[in-house]
Amino acid sequence: MGLRLGDTAPDFTAETSEGKITFHEWLGTSWGVLFSHPADYTPVCTTELGMTAKLKDEFDKRNVKVLALSVDDVESHQGWIKDINETQGTHVNFPIIADPKREVSTMYDMIHPNADNSLTVRSLFIIDPDKKIKLIITYPASTGRNFHEILRVIDSLQLTANYSVATPANWQHGEDVVIAPAITDEEIPAKFPKGYKKIKPYLRTTPQPNL
C-alpha cells in the first residue's frame, strides 16, 4: 500500500548534489516539497528544476525547503545542473537526491511499473513541519508540473492549518475563504472579526483571516 495523506513521511539518508542529508533532520521545522524526476538530462525535467530555482524566494517566504530526486548518481546530477543553469537562466539552489538503487523511490512509491518499470514518475509530496504528508500529486513523465499551483496549494495548506477555514475552488491568496462547518454562527464573530457572508447554512465565507 502506498503512502496516504496524514502519514508520516518516511525518513531516509541519501547522497545529494549538495552532500549527504538525513531527510527529517534536513527539514527541521520547515515545510518541505519532495519531488521526483524520471531521469537527468531530460527536457521537461530541465525546465521544472529551472522554474523551481527561479521561485526560491517564494518558497523561502513560505518557510518551504525543496528537495528533488532522480534515479541517476551525483556525478550525473552535477553535470545536469550545469545544463539547467545555462539553458534556464538560473542557478539550481536546492539539493537533488541521487537514487541509483531506487531506495527512496521505492519508499515513496515513485516508480509505477505500468508507466515505466525503472524510472520514477513525476511524484510530488508536500510535508508539514510535523513530517506529515499533506498533499500528493502524481503526473506522468510527459507532463510538466505547474509550480504556481504548488505555491497556491502551500498557501492553502498553511492557512487552513492555523484557522478553521477551507479554500474554495480556484482560490488565490487574498481572496475570501470558507468557514469550516464545525464553527457555529454564534462562534463566528469571535473567530472571524472581519465579518462573514452566509450564502447557505453550510456555505459561509469570510475574508482571509491572516491578512
CATH of the domain at 169: 3.30.1020.10
- 31-39: average pLDDT: 94
- Say what the pLDDT of residue 53 is: 98
- Say what the pLDDT of residue 135 is: 97
Q: Tell me how crowded residue 158 is: count the other CB atoms within 10 A of its CB.
A: 18
Domain boundary among 92, 117, 145: 145
Residue 2 falls inside a structural domain: no
Instruction: Judge if 88 and 44 occupy the same domain.
Output: yes
Average pLDDT, the chain: 94
Instruction: Judge if 136 and 198 occupy the same domain.
Output: no
Instruction: Judge if 91 and 127 occupy the same domain.
Output: yes
Residue 68 falls inside a structural domain: yes
All three cell numbers of 45, joined, read: 525535467
| Strand ranges across the sheet with 197-200 | 165-166, 177-179, 203-206, 197-200
Domain assignment of residue 198, given as a range? 163-206
- 47-76: average pLDDT: 97
Instruction: Judge if 89 and 181 occupy the same domain.
Output: no
The one catalytic residue among 14, 33, 34, 45: 45
Q: Which residues contact 55 (CB under 8 A, 6 or more apart)?
A: 147, 151
Q: Tell me how crowded residue 22 is: count the other CB atoms within 10 A of its CB.
A: 11
Instruction: Judge if 91 and 55 occupy the same domain.
Output: yes
- Say what the pLDDT of residue 119 is: 61
d(CA 170, CA 177): 11
45 carries an active-site annotation: yes
CATH of the domain at 53: 3.40.30.10
CB 55 within 8 A of CB 92: no
d(CA 166, CA 179): 6
Domain boundary among 94, 116, 145: 145
Residue 4 falls inside a structural domain: no
Residue 59 falls inside a structural domain: yes
Give the sign of the dihedral formed by CA 132, CA 135, CA 136, CA 141: negative
- Say what the pLDDT of residue 142 is: 86
Residue 5 falls inside a structural domain: no
pLDDT digits (tens, 9 = 90+) for 70-102: 999 999 999 999 999 999 999 999 999 999 999
Residue 151 falls inside a structural domain: no
Count: domains in the chain: 2
Residue count of the chain: 211
d(CA 132, CA 11): 11
d(CA 29, CA 55): 20
d(CA 146, CA 89): 18
* 98: nearest Cα among 77, 83, 79, 115: 77
pLDDT digits (tens, 9 = 90+) for 171-199: 999 999 999 999 999 999 999 999 999 99
pLDDT digits (tens, 9 = 90+) for 109-150: 887 655 555 566 689 999 999 999 999 999 888 899 999 999
pTM, rounded to two decimals: 0.93
